[in-house]
């Protein structure tokens, strides 16, 4: 398993398990938990969730999947901006812990910028760290200028920024990814497959045939090739988990990259950070 190093020196898997939209239908819950268990067995021990996903239902699926096997896992969750004052942050974290049946969240993120002062939210994160309820904290959906504010308010202790990044959403390459690289801060790429919409793209098919994998596997390999990026695709079925894992074995060559750049051009100017 390729790994990425957090600012504090801890290594985490570069390929994790996303859970957005899991827990929305009770009839799917067992299969979703099974997919997460398979991913863990295959080395994808980083699991990303949030209190927003299915109004806590996603965290409950995570709780099902990790019951009795918490050791060695790296659990990520998020607080909603409108819960992100000091008291609300602490209460939201405690509720997430209960839903997942765990004592500590490894990485706790502010889901997107909100109205609560960053100093207040980060102060709550620090209290949660002192209380042993979280280990690291970070943010999600913050653009470059906002990350400057995060660095100031958080005294340089932000562990990551989780952003929308894939072949069709390359805007962060212009300034946000270089900024994070300079700070030694990895990013987490959510929806690295554009929620499956990259499947069947005509530019991916010949490259996929060349490597003997699916077109979505090629799209994920493109994200994973970049150092300092953690990809967290959702896979609610076991066959999708295995297809995602196969991306780690794909070595895209210069010809592949040139073809992908032609089909999905890199940004030539600053673009506002996109959000799904």
Residue among 100, 112, 166, 105 at smallest CA distance from 137: 105
Within-domain flag for 268: no
In 169-260, which ranges are E strands? 187-190, 229-231
Name the token pair of 230.
């953690």
Rounded CA-CA distance 15/192 in Å is 11
Interatomic CA distance for residues 121 and 84, integer angstroms: 6
Distance (Å, rounded) from C-alpha 190 to C-alpha 212?
25
The answer to the question of residue 243 being in a domain is no
CATH of the domain at 64: 3.20.20.100
The pTM of this model reads 0.96
Residue 38 corresponds to which tokens in the numbers above?
Answer: 């398979």
pLDDT at 185: 97
* Residue 108: strand pairing partners: 77, 137
Is position 6 within any domain? no
Measured distance CA(28)–CA(8) in Å, rounded? 37
Give me the domain span that covers residue 156: 11-197+229-237
**Structural domains in the chain (count):** 1
Residue 58 lies in a domain: yes
pLDDT of residue 142: 98
At residue 6, the pLDDT reads 97
* Residue among 90, 88, 96, 89 nearest 52 (CA): 96
Q: b vs e for 193-215, b when ≥16 Cβ sit within 10 Å of the residue's Cβ?
A: bbbeebeebebbeebbeebebbb
Rounded distance, CA 251 to CA 247, Å? Answer: 9
* Distance from C-alpha of 214 to C-alpha of 198, rounded to nearest angstrom: 11
Tens of pLDDT, residue by residue, the chain (276 residues): 899 999 999 999 999 999 999 999 989 999 999 999 999 999 999 999 999 999 999 999 999 999 999 999 999 999 999 999 999 999 999 999 999 999 999 999 999 999 999 999 999 999 999 999 999 999 999 999 999 999 999 999 999 999 999 999 999 999 999 999 999 999 999 999 999 999 989 999 999 999 999 999 999 999 999 999 999 999 989 999 999 999 999 999 999 999 999 999 999 999 999 999
Catalytic residue, chosen from 53, 108, 165, 190, is 53
How many whole angstroms separate alpha carbon 181 and alpha carbon 4?
12
2 in the Ramachandran plot: left (φ > 0), alpha (ψ -120 to 50) or beta? beta
Burial-class residue 268 by CB neighbours within 10 Å (0-12, 13-18, 19+).
exposed
Residue with tokens 């959403």: 169
DSSP for residue 237: S
53 has catalytic annotation? yes
Residue 222 lies in a domain: no
Confidence (pLDDT) at 244: 96
Token pair, residue 175, equals 């300034």
What does the pLDDT read at residue 251?
A: 96
**Is 201 annotated among the ligand-binding residues?**
no
């Amino acid at each position: 398993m390729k790994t990425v190093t957090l600012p504090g020196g801890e290594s985490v898997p570069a390929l994790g398990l996303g859970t957005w939209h899991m827990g929305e239908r009770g009839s799917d819950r067992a299969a979703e938990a099974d997919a997460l268990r398979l991913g863990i067995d295959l080395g994808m021990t980083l699991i990303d969730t949030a209190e927003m996903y299915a109004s806590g239902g996603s965290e409950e699926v995570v709780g099902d999947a990790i019951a009795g096997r918490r050791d060695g896992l790296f659990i990520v969750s998020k607080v909603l901006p409108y819960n992100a004052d000091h008291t609300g942050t602490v209460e939201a974290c405690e509720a997430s812990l209960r839903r997942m049946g765990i004592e500590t969240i490894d990485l706790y993120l502010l889901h997107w910028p909100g109205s609560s002062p960053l100093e207040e939210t980060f102060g709550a994160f620090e209290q949660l760290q002192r209380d042993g309820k979280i280990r690291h904290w970070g943010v999600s959906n913050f653009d470059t200028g906002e990350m400057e504010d995060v660095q100031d308010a958080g005294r340089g202790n932000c562990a990551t920024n989780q952003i929308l990044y894939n072949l069709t959403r390359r805007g962060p390459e212009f300034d946000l990814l270089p900024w994070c690289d300079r700070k030694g801060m990895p990013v987490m790429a959510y929806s690295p497959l554009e929620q499956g919409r990259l499947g069947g793209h005509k530019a991916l098919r010949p490259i996929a045939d060349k490597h003997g994998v699916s077109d979505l596997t090629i799209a994920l390999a493109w994200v994973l090739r970049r150092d300092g990026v953690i990809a967290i695709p959702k896979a609610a079925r076991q066959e999708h988990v295995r297809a995602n894992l196969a991306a780690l074995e794909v070595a895209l060559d210069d010809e592949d990259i040139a073809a992908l750049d032609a089909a999905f051009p890199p940004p030539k100017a600053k673009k506002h950070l996109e959000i799904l």
